[in-house]
Chain A
């Protein structure tokens, strides 16, 4: 038999090109404008989608192969962790509260990212970016599900996890991460990509996954460590997509620059505000610490972000606005956030505590410019008061920032003793803000932000009571009624860690493991 000369072997780039690029076509039975209706209204001009550079060139068969490998490893560990009561091997049961915050505040965002990338994955006319977006959409449902599955075992034994889906849409502090993602998906496809693909994935998620997840490992939580790192391995692809998107948009037309710059400013600030929660997790909720929030910020934002923005300077991009304030804030925000949750621990689905002396010393050492001066005395005061039986629970509802929805807890740039307030009058109403950044974001799109479902406003308007509850009845207890609406079990999900059911159970179960009963 004649053997034909074997065909030229195609290289990765060339092969991928054939596997994707040629698939799309210029529609003629329907106009391209009708097929891709959302691609022009944001003002971004794209002249040639073929100029798109594919960052990673995974065909679907390779994707299935490698992702299945990751999934096999991950679920083997999740199973082993559950079967061996791995939750009892964490350093200290306080740690579990960080996992609660993760499931309640972060996992639902993964799901939103899945849907958001499906939207952009449908709306972009270019084949390359569409495929990359859809692959990311697929990864994001993976992240939502692997987190739910890993944390499911904690839910079986500990409080505060059981109603994460219900609470997401109701509990006051969860409107912070949720409104962030609602903001992104209600924007157009290009803004979504800059918001999530670039600002969040590239500039900020390393802060969430790398130091925090490494911290989880350090605290004996192999389950969280595994899903965290496994998710972050997809993140490497996502970050690269985010960077390619920015370069692509900027290279297409000089008119795109000011639009993109405004988005970078907005979304770096929005994302930075959301990460306050992560800062607090790192500084206060990991019993064994590897890195302070400030250190993580310096490595992953200042150093990496600095290199990135230096690189983008050739397109005319400057570093995001309000960096000088962000630079000052790194000494403060984690402490300000923890103090707030300590205050409002009655309305929270996780426990709070005053750090031990060792931990206070660690914070003093990591935050020499701020902790002893502003935060340690307050924590020690609260500890003394609690010892005397005066544990302070704040029952006054806080004013929220109209944009980021965080209570007004942040301080003036340059004066950590003064709360920062800004306000804007718009159409006969007064709107309040935590910062210049949030105020400016509002002013750019007031019609969007006046729609915000602010939890405190909603409580005052009577929208956060269960059906049939009569607020005019004698002896009506508004806080209790709101907690009912949240499905929060008073005394089990909330209040101090000290004396909690979680603490008692963990000690008892671990005792059973270490002693002969």
Chain B
């Protein structure tokens, strides 16, 4: 016997789980983002203290100087839960794939002026290590941050940074004569004076203990200057006008990624700053400090492609950065 269950109209007993209903009201259906995020992390009655940090609980809000009455005040405007996140990235990777195919299939890499090609290799390839640093920092916040609303998108960010490191690697393999370009770029990252400010910046982030300070140093300050500088300004504008459009196609993932991700970063900063004057003061202090360091570290990197223009363009970007943060409630 076939039963057509669809025709049965039955009244649900409840719309969602109680912990969600306490936040959004009992009569509302919850979104998948809400059910997959709100209060998902444990908060009470932990059994043991970490053997690696007995001064803390497993999840412990006191790891940060930023204080929140409710850590679920943070919201990801993209509403990324795993499914939404992977679907969004799968779509982007499909675009990236066809861009790579297009450039590769038509031999466009070989049409690039040699000088431009060298500039790209010099500028872009050491950034795979900076992206790897971004992956480390995102992992740190995911591990030791407090509340799923904050930690979840940090893992997505972390994996995106790994993806970006891999896309840069592919650009290198496509433009370079051999895999040795990767070794050479690493040598620059380790030894060339142009990269030492940035490498020091990234390494200094690795030893920070406050998850929100890592957030400021990586997601706010470094991403907030590096992506507009390298991808939006240098590749999409300056180099594209010199015949480097194929490069802009190969790094479209990064441009799109940053345009999307900054909205989440803005929302996070805004929420934390609006919470209390103390938070706001702390964020201003951190952001000022890391912005200045990031701008200084990126200057010699900018010079690789921009030469004498680097100074002016970087100052302009810092101005835009300040304006952006002002909108998020942080005056620098």
A interface residues, Cβ below 8 angstroms from B: 1-4, 7, 10, 18-20, 22-25, 27-30, 34-35, 37-38, 41, 59-61, 63-65, 67-69, 71-72, 74-75, 83-86, 88-89, 108, 111-112, 114-115, 118-119, 121-122, 127, 130-131, 134-135, 137-138, 141-142, 144-146, 148-149, 152, 155-159, 161-166, 168-170, 175, 178-179, 182-183, 185-188, 448-449, 451-453, 458, 487, 505, 509-510, 512-514
Q: Are B162 and A60 in contact (CB under 8 A)?
A: yes
Return the chain B residue nearest A62 by Cβ.
Answer: B93
Return the chain B residue nearest A178 by Cβ.
Answer: B47
Cβ contacts under 8 Å, A23 to chain B = 128-129, 131-132, 165
CA A178 to CA B58, docked complex, whole Å: 12
CA A162 to CA B18, docked complex, whole Å: 5
Whether, in the assembled complex, B5 has its beta carbon less than 8 Å from a beta carbon of chain A, the answer is: yes
Q: Are A84 and B6 in contact (CB under 8 A)?
A: yes
Q: Are A4 and B47 in contact (CB under 8 A)?
A: no
Cβ contacts under 8 Å, B189 to chain A = 25
Q: Are B32 and A149 in contact (CB under 8 A)?
A: yes
CA A165 to CA B147, docked complex, whole Å: 13
The distance from the CB of B258 to the nearest CB of chain A, in whole angstroms, is: 16
Q: Are A60 and B40 in contact (CB under 8 A)?
A: no
**Count class of interface residues, chain B:** 35 or more
Q: Are A487 and B18 in contact (CB under 8 A)?
A: yes
A111-B40, A142-B86, A182-B58 known, 14 other contacts, Cβ within 8 Å: A18-B173, A29-B200, A35-B203, A118-B155, A121-B139, A148-B36, A159-B13, A164-B17, A165-B39, A179-B47, A448-B51, A458-B45, A505-B13, A514-B1
Q: Which of B179-187, B224-232, B273-281, B318-326 lies at the interface with chain A?
A: B179-187
11 A-B residue pairs with CB within 8 Å: A19-B166, A23-B131, A67-B86, A89-B3, A115-B151, A118-B155, A141-B82, A141-B155, A145-B32, A156-B13, A514-B1
Residues in B63-86 with C-beta less than 8 Å from chain A: 81-83, 86
CA A84 to CA B4, docked complex, whole Å: 8
Chain B facing A: main interface SS: helix
Whether, in the assembled complex, B199 has its beta carbon less than 8 Å from a beta carbon of chain A, the answer is: yes
Whether, in the assembled complex, B190 has its beta carbon less than 8 Å from a beta carbon of chain A, the answer is: yes
Return the chain A residue nearest B167 by Cβ.
Answer: A61
Q: Are B162 and A131 in contact (CB under 8 A)?
A: yes
Q: Are A25 and B48 in contact (CB under 8 A)?
A: no
Q: Are A115 and B17 in contact (CB under 8 A)?
A: no
From the candidates B13, B81, B91, B129, name the one contacting A157 in the complex (CB within 8 A): B13
CA A164 to CA B40, docked complex, whole Å: 10
From the candidates B46, B93, B148, B173, name the one contacting A61 in the complex (CB within 8 A): B93
Q: Are B19 and A169 in contact (CB under 8 A)?
A: no
Q: Are B17 and A158 in contact (CB under 8 A)?
A: no
Residues in B1-43 with C-beta less than 8 Å from chain A: 1, 3-8, 10, 12-19, 30, 32, 35-36, 39-43
Cβ contacts under 8 Å, B32 to chain A = 145, 149
Residues in B144-175 with C-beta less than 8 Å from chain A: 144, 148, 151-152, 155-156, 158-160, 162-163, 165-167, 169-170, 173
Whether, in the assembled complex, B271 has its beta carbon less than 8 Å from a beta carbon of chain A, the answer is: no
Q: Are B165 and A64 in contact (CB under 8 A)?
A: no
Cβ contacts under 8 Å, A119 to chain B = 143-144
Interface centre among B47, B135, B148, B183 (most CB of A within 10 A): B47
Whether, in the assembled complex, B140 has its beta carbon less than 8 Å from a beta carbon of chain A, the answer is: yes
Return the chain A residue nearest B29 by Cβ.
Answer: A156
Q: Are B36 and A118 in contact (CB under 8 A)?
A: no
Given contacts A25-B189, A183-B47, contact A41 B155 (CB under 8 A): no
Whether, in the assembled complex, B96 has its beta carbon less than 8 Å from a beta carbon of chain A, the answer is: yes
Whether, in the assembled complex, B90 has its beta carbon less than 8 Å from a beta carbon of chain A, the answer is: yes
Q: Are B5 and A88 in contact (CB under 8 A)?
A: yes
Q: Are B169 and A29 in contact (CB under 8 A)?
A: no
Q: Which 8 A-B pairs have the closest CB atoms?
A: A68-B90, A60-B163, A145-B36, A156-B12, A118-B142, A23-B132, A182-B47, A118-B143
From the candidates B50, B97, B139, name the one contacting A118 in the complex (CB within 8 A): B139
Given contacts A22-B186, A156-B13, contact A86 B5 (CB under 8 A): yes
Given contacts A24-B132, A157-B10, A186-B49, contact A513 B97 (CB under 8 A): no
Cβ contacts under 8 Å, B94 to chain A = 65
CA A27 to CA B155, docked complex, whole Å: 23
Given contacts A18-B182, A115-B41, A182-B47, contact A513 B4 (CB under 8 A): yes
The distance from the CB of B153 to the nearest CB of chain A, in whole angstroms, is: 11
Q: Are A85 and B158 in contact (CB under 8 A)?
A: no
CA A179 to CA B199, docked complex, whole Å: 40
Q: Are B159 and A138 in contact (CB under 8 A)?
A: yes
The distance from the CB of A93 to the nearest CB of chain B, in whole angstroms, is: 13
Cβ contacts under 8 Å, A510 to chain B = 3
Cβ contacts under 8 Å, B110 to chain A = 2, 4
Return the chain B residue nearest A35 by Cβ.
Answer: B206
CA A63 to CA B96, docked complex, whole Å: 14
Return the chain A residue nearest B9 by Cβ.
Answer: A512
Return the chain B residue nearest A183 by Cβ.
Answer: B48
Q: Are A169 and B44 in contact (CB under 8 A)?
A: yes
CA A175 to CA B53, docked complex, whole Å: 22
Q: Are A30 and B155 in contact (CB under 8 A)?
A: no
Q: Are A68 and B206 in contact (CB under 8 A)?
A: no
Whether, in the assembled complex, B114 has its beta carbon less than 8 Å from a beta carbon of chain A, the answer is: no
Whether, in the assembled complex, B308 has its beta carbon less than 8 Å from a beta carbon of chain A, the answer is: no
Given contacts A30-B206, A513-B5, contact A162 B169 (CB under 8 A): no
Q: Are B107 and A64 in contact (CB under 8 A)?
A: no
From the candidates A24, A84, A157, A182, name the one contacting B46 in the complex (CB within 8 A): A182
CA A431 to CA B217, docked complex, whole Å: 47
Residues in B99-139 with C-beta less than 8 Å from chain A: 107, 110, 128-129, 131-132, 135-136, 139
The distance from the CB of B134 to the nearest CB of chain A, in whole angstroms, is: 11
Q: Are B58 and A85 in contact (CB under 8 A)?
A: no
Cβ contacts under 8 Å, A155 to chain B = 14, 16-17
Interface centre among A1, A134, A158 (most CB of B within 10 A): A134
Return the chain A residue nearest B170 by Cβ.
Answer: A19
Q: Are A64 and B93 in contact (CB under 8 A)?
A: yes
Given contacts A122-B136, A183-B47, contact A72 B87 (CB under 8 A): yes
CA A141 to CA B83, docked complex, whole Å: 10
Whether, in the assembled complex, B89 has its beta carbon less than 8 Å from a beta carbon of chain A, the answer is: yes
Interface centre among B32, B43, B59 (most CB of A within 10 A): B32
The distance from the CB of B193 to the nearest CB of chain A, in whole angstroms, is: 14
Given contacts A27-B206, A137-B142, A149-B32, contact A59 B19 (CB under 8 A): no
Whether, in the assembled complex, B204 has its beta carbon less than 8 Å from a beta carbon of chain A, the answer is: yes
Whether, in the assembled complex, B312 has its beta carbon less than 8 Å from a beta carbon of chain A, the answer is: no
Cβ contacts under 8 Å, B89 to chain A = 60, 64, 68
Return the chain A residue nearest B91 by Cβ.
Answer: A68
Return the chain A residue nearest B190 by Cβ.
Answer: A25
Cβ contacts under 8 Å, B6 to chain A = 83-85
Return the chain A residue nearest B42 by Cβ.
Answer: A169
Q: Are A156 and B82 in contact (CB under 8 A)?
A: no
From the candidates B17, B58, B91, B170, name the one contacting A152 in the complex (CB within 8 A): B17
Cβ contacts under 8 Å, B93 to chain A = 60-61, 64-65
Return the chain B residue nearest A127 by Cβ.
Answer: B132
Return the chain B residue nearest A156 by Cβ.
Answer: B12
Return the chain A residue nearest B59 by Cβ.
Answer: A115
Cβ contacts under 8 Å, A121 to chain B = 139, 143
Q: Are A60 and B183 in contact (CB under 8 A)?
A: no
From the candidates A65, A84, A451, name the one contacting B90 in the complex (CB within 8 A): A65
The distance from the CB of A110 to the nearest CB of chain B, in whole angstroms, is: 10
Q: Are B17 and A30 in contact (CB under 8 A)?
A: no
Q: Are A163 and B82 in contact (CB under 8 A)?
A: no
Q: Are B203 and A30 in contact (CB under 8 A)?
A: yes
The distance from the CB of A381 to the nearest CB of chain B, in whole angstroms, is: 35
